Amino acid sequence: MTPVPSDSALHRQLRQATKRPHHVLDHHPLLAPLLRPDLTLAQYGNALAALHGIGQAAEVGILAFLAQHPQPFDYQARLKVWALEADLAALGRQPLGLAADFPVPQNVGGLIGVLYVMEGATQGGLMIARLLQALPIAPLPTAHFSVYGSTAAQKWAEFLQFADEQATPEVLDTAVVTAIGVFDAITCHLDACLKQLGADVSVCEPA
């Protein structure tokens, strides 16, 4: 088993730089209900329908970059959109389309920035899956939030190790800027989804 890297400078900087935008996301009106004991099926479906556009844009961008610039990093085992689609189908819901510009990796720093956000989200997803399974409305389809199953810690460690091995100062700078851009794009997209779902909110400019 790959050892979990110590709290590397790269990981510290990525976590620190995205602390505030992560806080904004986990308090977003589309995602915050996931943590509440009175979560409804409609709220759960809304959250998954909105997350689909982001997951798909990230997956397409990552796969396109890796096809052009192969890296010692296995992404095939990390595909997640299939799980989101299985959950949506089980709920009888359709995905909402992507409603913001989503950063596409142009270099290894950009790849690490996008991967940090999307792979990191699976860590928070584990906690969400545990809460969902204990709700009065359980059982819920939770393939997406528990997509890595028992390999989640190992996959996170392997991502951090890959990122550490690439981390020149330039790569790190690009990764941090990209990760912040990904968080901002997700917030913008979720705001637009909220509006599509009928909420009276002002949103950032959609793509």
Phi-psi region of 92 (alpha: psi -120 to 50; beta: other; left: phi over 0): left
Residues 169-198 touching ligand HEM, rule: CB under 6 A, are: 186
Q: Which of 161, 54, 139, 37 is nearest to 104 (CA)?
A: 54
CB of 107 to ligand HEM, least distance (A): 20
Taking the CA of residue 21 as centre, how many other CA atoms within 13 Å lie in the half-sphere pointing to its CB? 20
Q: Counting contacts by CB under 6 A, is residue 102 touching ligand HEM?
A: no
For residue 93, state whether it binds ligand HEM (rule: CB under 6 A).
no
Q: Which residues, numbered 30-59, are part of the site for ligand HEM (CB under 6 A)?
A: 31, 34-35
Please say which residue, 54 or 108, places its beta carbon nearer to ligand HEM: 54
Q: Which of these, 91, 103, 87, 104, lies nearest to 52 by C-alpha position?
A: 87
Total residues found in the chain within this entry = 207
Q: Which residues of 136-165 are buried (b: 16+ CB within 10 A; e: fewer)?
A: eeeebbbbbbbbbeeebeebbebbbebbbe
Does the footprint of ligand HEM cover residue 116 (CB under 6 A)? Answer: yes
Q: Which span (27-35, 64-72, 80-88, 136-144) binds ligand HEM, by CB under 6 A? A: 27-35
In the complex, the smallest distance separating the C-beta of residue 186 from ligand HEM, rounded to whole angstroms, is 5
Query: Near ligand HEM by CB under 6 A, which window of 61-69, 99-107, 115-123, 192-200?
Result: 115-123
Residue closer to ligand HEM (CB basis): 69 or 130: 130
In whole angstroms, how close is the CB of 116 to ligand HEM at the nearest point? 6
Q: Are the CB atoms for 156 and 123 separated by under 8 Å?
A: yes
Tokens of 61: 């961008």
In the complex, the residues that contact ligand HEM under the rule CB under 6 A are 11, 15, 22, 25-26, 31, 34-35, 116-117, 120-121, 123-124, 127-128, 186
